[in-house]
Amino acid sequence: MGLGQNIRRHRVGQGLTLEQLSERSGVDIGTISALENRDSVRSKYASAIARGLGLTVEELENEIGRAHV
């Protein structure tokens, strides 16, 4: 599972919309959406998004992480 899939899994598992995660992380909605859809391996936004999800970058990048689903 790539970064984008993990972002979506944690976001949806926490019941967050793209807008809510954007507000929490300071990362533009379009950027988060593109990351989720493109499912890249790394991103310069990973740290901010992880913070917005209450995770470390390592937890976000890990397939298992602290799954909220």
pLDDT at residue number 66? 47
Contacts (Cβ under 8 Å, ≥6 apart) of 10: 53, 55, 60, 65, 67, 68, 69
Nearest to 18 by CA among 44, 46, 52: 52
The rounded distance, in Å, linking the Cα atoms of 7 and 21 is 10
Contact 11, 19 (CB under 8 A): no
The rounded distance, in Å, linking the Cα atoms of 32 and 49 is 8
- pLDDT tens-digit readout, 23-68: 999 999 999 999 999 877 778 899 999 999 999 999 988 865 444 4
